[in-house]
Amino acid sequence: MPRGPKGEKRPADVVSNAVHVMRIATGEAEEDFGKVPQRAKGGRKGGKARARSLAPEKRSEIARAAAAARWKKG
């Protein structure tokens, strides 16, 4: 079964999808958004924790390298 942009299951053909949408609208079926992947939650926490643990000099060095890479692309 195909998946939507948020990982929800959707019928493959147009008619089945229309029936599914109608059932959600009338309350016969509930919309399933799936679960948020654990890696997304960890990624949000990880960047802040890493920034706190780095020395200011090291953070500045990383930022300088990132800026150089951005300007190099153009």
The residue ranges of every structural domain in the chain are: 38-73
Give the residue-averaged pLDDT of 46-62: 89
Number of helical H runs and strand E runs in the chain: 3, 0
Q: Is the pLDDT of residue 33 over 70?
A: no
Calculate what percentage of the chain has a pLDDT beyond 70: 72
What is the overall mean pLDDT for the chain? Answer: 80
Q: How far apart are the C-alpha atoms of 10 and 4, rounded to whole Å?
A: 6
Phi and psi dihedrals of 9, rounded to 5?
Answer: -80, 135
pTM, entire model: 0.38
Q: How far apart are the C-alpha atoms of 67 and 74, rounded to whole Å?
A: 12
Q: How far apart are the C-alpha atoms of 56 and 45, rounded to whole Å?
A: 19
Q: For residue 64, which of 72, 44, 47 has the smallest C-alpha distance?
A: 72
